[in-house]
Structure 1
Amino acid sequence: MPDNLSFPDVATLASPLYLLLLVLELVLMRLHLVRAHYETRDSAASLTMGLGYVITGLLSGLAIGGAISAAMFWAYGHRLFDLGTSVWVVAACFLIDDMRYYWAHRFMHRIRWLWASHVVHHSSQHFNFATALRQPWTSAVTGMFVLKLPLAFLGFHPAILIFVSSLNLLYQFWVHTESIGRMPRWFEAVMNTPSHHRVHHGSNPRYLDANYAGTLIVWDKLFGTFVPELDREPVKYGLVHDLGTFNPLRIAVHEYVGIFKDQARRGLRLRDRFMYLFGPPGWSHDGSRDDTDRIKAAYLRRHPDQAGTPGLPAPATAPPAPARLLGEEVADAAGSQ
């Protein structure tokens, strides 16, 4: 099979469509035909982040793209099977890569080093097509490309892996909207939808760390992270501790700054320094901050009747109370979702 095999980068080629849909949503919002919320400074920040994502992607491609490509082709050169490039192979690769995306996305929410990049996408307090374009500038330094190496070892050509990832990103654009309610039940059961993804962008305790799907929501249902959107509890978008800024540079690097400050603390054990880098967002060596589990537990102490409802643990699984006042839902935490 030729190493120069190539497929179109459909996610990039669709950029004009993204902007067209964004403008269409704005127009329909102005005409009061759809539900949507845009704020000028927030949208400008999102578009700036999107432009920076493209530019930094090009620069990182020049800097380390060759090394990543070499690793991918090395893995493919030692492949277990010659799978070819048929439509069925591409379809199978799409399904397997979609599960790979699920786990990559889940890691991004549970490992602070990865969250430091991904937090950018969750930093808007609005949920619209502009939010879909709010992307990190540091994706290349996360090292998450290594999760694609097993697929290359399996026998999927690197060009196919790039192509199916591009299809996945293309699909995900349309789920970033409040303009679309719920899809037909059969579709909601299998596919990621705006309703499912609204939950993922929520900072409500029950909605934290849920619905990591790219294209198929079945992975969340299979691995226990699915939470439905509840009509009785509207989604609050953004971070547990919102940034309070529209400065693109601060949006891009604020969590790295937080990591640096934590690593600069004196008197920490080696394990503490490791956890501040690779532990869950919100972890702290002295228990003074709240991670997702503590936030959910604190919510249940105020609303015990909600235990065991979607997105919230049963009483027996709730973690112990932190050694501080429990009247607050969250503590001051650099790095909480």
Structure 2
Amino acid sequence: MFDLILHAIPVFVVCLVLEALSFHFLPDDDGIGYERRDSMTSLSMGLGNVVVNAGWKLVVLAAYAATYLLAPVHLPADNPLTWVALFLADDLAYYWYHRTHHTIRVFWASHVVHHSSEFYNLSTALRQPWTPFSSVVFWLPLALAGFAPWMILLQQSVSLLYQFFLHTERVHRLWAPLELVLNTPSHHRVHHGSQAAYLDRNYGGILIVWDRVFGTFEPEGERVVYGLTTNIRTFNPARVAFHEFAAIARDVRRATRWRDRWGYVVRHPGWSPAESPRDPMSDLVS
């Protein structure tokens, strides 16, 4: 099975080196550039993701194929309108995948990896999770709608390839009509911001229109501070990959009520029992 992302790795490496050299020879007072340990961690996370996906994609392909067999129609791959529809459907699926992975803690535990760097450069794009197992359900409706599994996987790769180039401070703002429709480096910098105004904004993949439609768009204003609201202060890839899962386990272990244990898993990141009204009956089943 052809894997566009694997074939694009040499392009990623060349672009990363060129961007790093640009910061060295053409420094920008507004850019924070690269830090060796941070970049090595990002590269390690990317390589780990490739290894995990080498096996996991077989499971994903099987899930798509089984769902595709149940589809009432199979859309023709030789019709350009099929590809237009797939582009829009994939981008919408990505929006909701991305949004839920910021708002449901067990999903965030996987996605937080990508936001754990306090730097923002092309190496940050490679900082990917080692636990990509929650994404498949968001694309199953596309298979049920009649898109062939290989088409879905290809479009997902195109989206990831596009998003790689969003992770840069070397590009400021694009032509206004493009900024209106497309996800751009400016929009995605906001998404990686840790300021209150930037949290949980700009979830788009290739398009930014879904954020405008669903009320999650925020333009770039004040200088973005990258990273998490509470940074993890480590370059250890294993800790980066699993630190939030470990935090969930600690919270669940300490909770005294089942509803609180469940809340620590499925509520938003940062949730605590104090946010929920106390139910006297819950003590009977705790």
TM-score by length of structure 2 reads 0.92
Deviation at 1:88, TM superposition (A): 2.6
CA distance in 2 between counterparts of 1:70 and 1:228 reads 40
CA distance in 2 between counterparts of 1:119 and 1:106 reads 12
CA distance in 2 between counterparts of 1:92 and 1:10 reads 20
Which residue, 124, 131, 138 being the options, matches 2:131?
138
CA distance in 1 between counterparts of 2:6 and 2:83 reads 19
Partner of 2:247: 258
Any idea what the Cα deviations from partners look like across 1:197-237, whole Å, max 9, x if unmatched?
0000000000000000100000100110000001xx10000
Partner of 1:271: 259
Contact kept, 8 Å, 2:255 with 2:261, in 1: the verdict is: no
Which residue, 213, 231, 247 being the options, matches 2:236?
247
Deviation at 1:193, TM superposition (A): 0.3
Aligned to 1:219, the other structure's residue is in SS state helix
CA distance in 1 between counterparts of 2:117 and 2:124 reads 7
Any idea what the Cα deviations from partners look like across 1:72-114, whole Å, max 9, x if unmatched?
2221111122211123312210111101000000000000010
CA distance in 1 between counterparts of 2:165 and 2:11 reads 11
The amino acid that maps onto 1:134 is R
Aligned to 2:274, the other structure's residue is in SS state coil
Deviation at 1:10, TM superposition (A): 1.8
CA distance in 1 between counterparts of 2:73 and 2:169 reads 44
| Structure 2, gaps ≥5 residues long | 277-286
The amino acid that maps onto 1:279 is R
Aligned to 1:139, the other structure's residue is in SS state coil
Asked which structure has the greater RCO (Cα within 8 Å, sep 6+), the reply is 2
Contact kept, 8 Å, 1:204 with 1:236, in 2: the verdict is: yes
TM-score by length of structure 1 reads 0.78
Contact kept, 8 Å, 2:114 with 2:127, in 1: the verdict is: yes
Contact kept, 8 Å, 1:93 with 1:156, in 2: the verdict is: yes
The amino acid that maps onto 2:260 is D
CA distance in 2 between counterparts of 1:218 and 1:137 reads 29
Deviation at 1:60, TM superposition (A): 3.4
Deviation at 1:12, TM superposition (A): 2.1
CA distance in 2 between counterparts of 1:13 and 1:90 reads 22
Partner of 2:212: 221
CA distance in 1 between counterparts of 2:256 and 2:144 reads 43
- Work out the percentage of aligned pairs sharing the same amino acid: 47
Contact kept, 8 Å, 2:74 with 2:148, in 1: the verdict is: no
Deviation at 1:11, TM superposition (A): 2.1
Aligned to 1:163, the other structure's residue is in SS state helix
Contact kept, 8 Å, 1:82 with 1:155, in 2: the verdict is: yes
Which residue, 68, 72, 95 being the options, matches 2:64?
72
Q: What is the aligned residue count?
A: 273
Q: How does 1:33-72 map to 2 (within 5 A)?
A: 35-61=31-57, 65-66=58-59, 68-72=60-64
Partner of 1:91: 84
Q: Which moved more, 1:10-19 or 1:34-43?
A: 34-43
Deviation at 1:33, TM superposition (A): 5.4
Partner of 1:165: 156
Deviation at 1:287, TM superposition (A): 4.7
Contact kept, 8 Å, 1:36 with 1:179, in 2: the verdict is: no
Q: How does 1:225-240 map to 2 (within 5 A)?
A: 225-230=216-221, 233-240=222-229
The amino acid that maps onto 1:149 is L
| Structure 1, gaps ≥5 residues long | 1-5, 289-337
CA distance in 2 between counterparts of 1:11 and 1:88 reads 24
Higher helix share: 2
Contact kept, 8 Å, 2:122 with 2:164, in 1: the verdict is: yes
